[in-house]
Structure 1
Amino acid sequence: MHDNGHDNGKTFHGAADAGEIQVDVAIIGAGPAGLTAGYLLTKAGKTVAIIEKDATYVGGISRTVEHEGYRFDIGGHRFFSKSQQVVDLWNEILPDDFIQRPRMSRIYYEGKFYSYPLRAFEALWNLGLLRSAMCMVSYAKAKLFPAREIKSFEDWTSNQFGKRLYSIFFKTYTEKVWGMPCNEMSADWAAQRIKGLSLWSAVVDGLKRSLGLNKLNDGSGKQAKTLLETFRYPRLGPGMMWDAARDKIVATGKGRTIMGHELKQLAADGENGWRMTASGPDGDVVVKAAHAISSAPMRQLAARLHPLPDTTLEANNLKYRDFLTVALMIRSEDLFPDNWIYIHDSKVKVGRVQNFRSWSPEMVPDENVACVGLEYFCFEGDGLWSMDDADLVELAKREMDILGLVSPEKVIGGAVVRQEKAYPVYDEDYAANVDAMRSELEERFPTLHLVGRNGMHRYNNQDHAMMTAMLTVENIIAGERIYDTWCVNEDAEYHEAGDEGAYKALPEGRQQVTEDQAAALNSMRDVPERIDGSKIADGRKAA
């Protein structure tokens, strides 16, 4: 991986030679949003300083971690976007290192693989005659005698598919990811997340596919739009993109990244100016800037702003879902061809298993070794999060054995990567809390800009985190707020179908988001909310 050395004083760990840094823009966080902003600002001639609390890696959740030559993608990142602006930027930063990879994800249940999304005939065949018959009886019962009072995810999904299919293909995985029972999740989220999907439609679609009848009814003879079959990917993982972005920022002579330093205070410094203090192992770094861009979690930023916002209490109530990856090196051929498989089995805690070679063969240095990453969804400080790394590796080995995927004696190595604040939690109060802080900051501090997933407490993917930074840079260069960055988000189907770059870049000088861009960016990506107003459990309390 990249050496985060001193690079002529522009990229460094320590603070001894830093003194007080004067730049145009101070940036908190070297994830996709922060580095996109830094790259575009330095390209436009602005000076920037980026602080990053990780001492080794840039990229945030999109980083690539290396262990003894093996590379791990934290979460899995397909490089696909409907925004041509984002695609162009990827190509500009990393022009020669993309590879085209097959897209494949399946569900693993009781020793068998199921297509994702589900194919009705395949699912029923895999379940066997007796269980399939019971599932169809359960489905018929739900259609003939549906529940009248629909409150929860469980109610809605059982009505749509029957209790048995719900329990097999929805309940276990959903509860693992979100850490709450399905009968406490809002039915509204189920209706939005699984919109348009029905068992009968899946059966009809399966018949059409088998008979070659899934053509568009427009005279073109083209196939109906389906899931992406391939995607682009950096050959050494997503961190390769963000290493390159950092290097290009430094190479301009106008930007520096300060590794191993966490935000200590962001203080309003006179009229529209900022004084940012970051603490590290060798002391503090002080950055003075006209503008500040924050991709730090809103909760953290509110606690470190000076003067403290009136909405600090609201921000402190924001919650996050965390996860960890246990990577296993296995003396074996690849266990499965998928990029990842979803584990729908209540006997194990693992929620998803990545196959790193399927992302890129160059991520696994030994062709005789398979490398997989078991993903465990948890809350920072809970039992899983607090386990020793060695114990987590042993847990992963046991669970792979329980699933029938690999025998423990074939595992020749392991590593653990923890990712805090991976998912912003949408509890019953989050929207009001975010809106309160956003409104106050926009009114009091017009030169403070929030970007990215945690910076805005919104469930953005990588390309949309980048877009919030891209529009923020346009606002800074223009000297006024010409774009509403809060319009940027995605719907649940955004990365599943459609054409890359379908929505083109803005014309030169255009100061409003086009209709096509709005269609791509404006719909909220949903996550579940509780139906009973109960507060997040002890494991989810604010740190």
Structure 2
Amino acid sequence: MPATPETIPPASSDGQPTVVVIGAGPAGLTAAYELARRGISCTVLEADSVVGGISRTAERDGWRFDIGGHRFFTKVQRVEDLWHEILSDDEFLVRPRMSRIYYDGKYFDYPLRAGNALRNLGVVEAIRCVASYLWARLRPPKDQTNYEGWLVARFGWRLYRTFFKTYTEKVWGVPVSSMPADWAAQRIKNLSLFNAILNALLPRRNQKEITSLIEEFQYPKYGPGMMWERCRDLVEAAGTKVVMNTRVTRIEHDRGRAVAVVAESDGVSTRYPADHVISSMPFSSLLTAMDPPVPTEVRRAADDLRFRDFLTVALVVPEEAGFPDNWIYIHSPEVKVGRIQNFGAWSPYLVKDGRTCLGLEYFVFEGDETWTAPDEQLVEMAKRELQQLGLVDASSVEAGYVVRMPKAYPMYDETYRANVETLRRWLEQHAPNVHPVGRNGMHKYNNQDHSMLTAMLTVENIVDGAHHDIWAVNVEEEYHEERSSSGPARGGTGRDAPVIPRSAFADDHPVNRVPS
């Protein structure tokens, strides 16, 4: 028989609720910070050795890597205020936003600027693209419920194939034609070729009336992980315990309430009593950790939730081999890399004098051939692709590092909504004091600021007796980086992800395998 877990006394006392927070990413640490603000110490359990989740700053040999790229931009004032409580103003840099699309050996502005795009395409191809656009306006696709039809109607077939198809399929691993139009509407809903041409003719400014046209953002000088490392230090100073390298194995519940969280570290199990559990661990894992176990149909729904995973190959190159962009989208179909960051363009504090570091991002499924390849093989592939794209000669690469990030993006297939609702309903009935927050915690494609807001509202629900519906955070049409010039920004921010049919994958594809 396994040894009985040691029971840890509550972190809080004096009649305050005992709260266990699962996960030390943006949502979990924001919850701990908000509790500490109210004088409540809690226990934070983190399975990894680094805080920040996907918003961490990975470090190798003095090089710092932003996993995924994190622009600090929000329309939620309380999130903005919290960022500046945790870090001082002089610890933020104001960075210019610059992103381009790399296709056929040329760089195209992103968001698309018609003048730049048409010049790069050349006169003949530009005429063909405009003709294709006009034809699509006259004879739009009959089915615009999918991403492909929606885009073709607004850009024409030729621009769609050049600027949207390849990259989107790299990110999600499925044909664009199987994805719904509401994803496109979230990401580029105000942008068409007409709007792009209009934008090209207008003087440059810090445009916020067309989606994605913010031109500046804040950035912590040592990367996003700096925010969460500091937050950890602050909550620990206030009496909260942040326990690293500790994996949650069970959530004990009894008579309609969770009563304790059991976690394992170095083979030793520890039991943490709890009046409330705030969880940013994957929603599916949360339900399968319940003890006694959830019913079969709930377990089946949990097992049916899937994720898209992600890895970065960081290559050290001479500074002059870098580029001014934060990142470049790689639309070239002959390479696997989807996006390349220049960490030196994010912050000079991430790199070393005379050198920069390029982060080649690969969108994968955990367990596939790219994910499981040895680091040395991945570094060689990245060097080869960098040279193949004509960006940097492979011989100029001085060092390479690989950072894997499992469960980076919740997959929205045709059953996910029903599965999430099944899990929510069971929790509400059998463990209402367990509170999912954040991207993975809610299986919801949240930005960092959305994740923080769900944690803030959850703490208000627990401590202040509020009745916020945290599932309503991010349910709106407005895209995250769009701000209307006609009025004040709304309180939430908008982001969604495509609903991807499970049938788009082969039967033996990782997304269709039930996890062991």
**TM-score normalised over the length of structure 2:** 0.91
Describe how 1:49-88 pairs up with structure 2 within 5 A: 49-55=43-49, 57-88=50-81
Q: Is the CA contact (8 Å cut-off) linking 1:302 and 1:316 kept in structure 2? A: no
Cα distance change, pair 411–380 in 1 and its aligned pair in 2 (3 A): same
**1:502-542, Cα deviation, whole Å (9 max, x unpaired):** 66xxxxxxxxxxxx42xx24x5x222224685567522134
1:357 to 2:328 alignment: no
The aligned residue for residue 22 of structure 1 is 10
Q: Distance in 2 between the 1:302 and 1:532 partners?
A: 22
Cα distance, 1:462 vs structure 2: 0.5
Q: Distance in 2 between the 1:296 and 1:257 partners?
A: 15
Q: Distance in 1 between the 2:73 and 2:343 partners?
A: 18
Residues 18-27 or 439-448, more deviating: 18-27
1:329 to 2:316 alignment: yes
Cα distance, 1:44 vs structure 2: 1.2
Cα distance change, pair 342–286 in 1 and its aligned pair in 2 (3 A): same
Q: Is the CA contact (8 Å cut-off) linking 1:84 and 1:502 kept in structure 2? A: no
**1:61-94, Cα deviation, whole Å (9 max, x unpaired):** 0000101100000011111111111111111111
Q: Is the CA contact (8 Å cut-off) linking 2:256 and 2:431 kept in structure 1? A: no
Q: Distance in 2 between the 1:245 and 1:532 partners?
A: 39
- In structure 2, the residue corresponding to 1:66 is in which secondary structure? strand
Q: Which of 175, 178, 184 is matched with 2:178 structurally?
A: 184
One-letter code of the match for 1:126?
Answer: N
Residues 238-247 or 284-293, more deviating: 284-293
Cα distance, 1:461 vs structure 2: 0.5
Cα distance, 1:295 vs structure 2: 0.4
1:528 to 2:514 alignment: no
Cα distance change, pair 224–287 in 1 and its aligned pair in 2 (3 A): closer
Residues 290-299 or 525-534, more deviating: 525-534
Q: Distance in 1 between the 2:260 and 2:153 partners?
A: 56
Cα distance change, pair 100–147 in 1 and its aligned pair in 2 (3 A): closer
One-letter code of the match for 1:392?
Answer: L
Q: Distance in 2 between the 1:72 and 1:327 partners?
A: 8
**1:100-128, Cα deviation, whole Å (9 max, x unpaired):** 11111111112221111101121010111
1:102 to 2:96 alignment: yes
Cα distance, 1:485 vs structure 2: 1.0
Q: Distance in 2 between the 1:50 and 1:230 partners?
A: 34
**1:383-432, Cα deviation, whole Å (9 max, x unpaired):** 11111111000010011001110000000001000011111111001111
- In structure 2, the residue corresponding to 1:333 is in which secondary structure? helix
The aligned residue for residue 318 of structure 1 is 305
Q: Is the CA contact (8 Å cut-off) linking 2:208 and 2:214 kept in structure 1? A: no
Cα distance change, pair 460–260 in 1 and its aligned pair in 2 (3 A): same
Q: Is the CA contact (8 Å cut-off) linking 1:343 and 1:351 kept in structure 2? A: yes
Q: Distance in 1 between the 2:348 and 2:473 partners?
A: 33
The aligned residue for residue 166 of structure 2 is 172
Q: Is the CA contact (8 Å cut-off) linking 2:256 and 2:432 kept in structure 1? A: no
Cα distance, 1:18 vs structure 2: 7.5
**1:262-297, Cα deviation, whole Å (9 max, x unpaired):** 111011156745211111215122211111111010
The aligned residue for residue 15 of structure 2 is none
The aligned residue for residue 346 of structure 1 is 333
The aligned residue for residue 7 of structure 1 is none
Cα distance change, pair 241–458 in 1 and its aligned pair in 2 (3 A): same
- In structure 1, the residue corresponding to 2:311 is in which secondary structure? strand
Cα distance, 1:133 vs structure 2: 2.0
The aligned residue for residue 162 of structure 1 is 156
Residues 390-399 or 101-110, more deviating: 101-110
**TM-score normalised over the length of structure 1:** 0.87
- In structure 1, the residue corresponding to 2:85 is in which secondary structure? helix
Q: Distance in 2 between the 1:126 and 1:380 partners?
A: 37
The aligned residue for residue 217 of structure 1 is none
Q: Distance in 2 between the 1:25 and 1:497 partners?
A: 36
The aligned residue for residue 276 of structure 2 is 291
Q: Unaligned regions of 5+ residues in structure 2, if any?
A: 12-17
**1:40-77, Cα deviation, whole Å (9 max, x unpaired):** 1122121211111112x100000001011000000111
Q: Distance in 1 between the 2:251 and 2:502 partners?
A: 37
1:473 to 2:459 alignment: yes
The aligned residue for residue 508 of structure 1 is none
- In structure 1, the residue corresponding to 2:400 is in which secondary structure? strand
Q: Distance in 2 between the 1:372 and 1:248 partners?
A: 32
Q: Distance in 1 between the 2:293 and 2:267 partners?
A: 27
Q: Is the CA contact (8 Å cut-off) linking 1:152 and 1:531 kept in structure 2? A: no
Describe how 1:336-485 pairs up with structure 2 within 5 A: 336-365=323-352, 367-478=353-464, 480-485=465-470
**1:353-411, Cα deviation, whole Å (9 max, x unpaired):** 1111111100102x211211000001111111111111000010011001110000000
Q: Distance in 2 between the 1:193 and 1:536 partners?
A: 27
One-letter code of the match for 1:36?
Answer: T
The aligned residue for residue 511 of structure 1 is none
Q: Is the CA contact (8 Å cut-off) linking 1:323 and 1:420 kept in structure 2? A: yes
**1:323-348, Cα deviation, whole Å (9 max, x unpaired):** 10000001342521111111111011
One-letter code of the match for 1:72?
Answer: F
Q: Distance in 2 between the 1:532 and 1:463 partners?
A: 29
Q: Is the CA contact (8 Å cut-off) linking 1:82 and 1:502 kept in structure 2? A: no
- In structure 2, the residue corresponding to 1:22 is in which secondary structure? coil
Residues 413-422 or 20-29, more deviating: 20-29
Q: Unaligned regions of 5+ residues in structure 1, if any?
A: 1-16, 215-221, 504-515
The aligned residue for residue 278 of structure 1 is 263
**1:221-279, Cα deviation, whole Å (9 max, x unpaired):** x97746222211111111111011111111112x1111101111011156745211111
The aligned residue for residue 126 of structure 2 is 132
Describe how 1:96-245 pairs up with structure 2 within 5 A: 96-209=90-203, 225=209, 227-245=213-231
- In structure 1, the residue corresponding to 2:264 is in which secondary structure? strand
- In structure 2, the residue corresponding to 1:330 is in which secondary structure? strand
Q: Is the CA contact (8 Å cut-off) linking 1:193 and 1:492 kept in structure 2? A: no
- In structure 1, the residue corresponding to 2:320 is in which secondary structure? coil
Q: Distance in 2 between the 1:223 and 1:26 partners?
A: 43
Identity percentage of aligned residues: 49
Cα distance change, pair 410–497 in 1 and its aligned pair in 2 (3 A): farther
Q: Distance in 2 between the 1:399 and 1:331 partners?
A: 17
One-letter code of the match for 2:110?
Answer: Y
- Give the length in aligned residue pairs: 497
1:539 to 2:510 alignment: yes
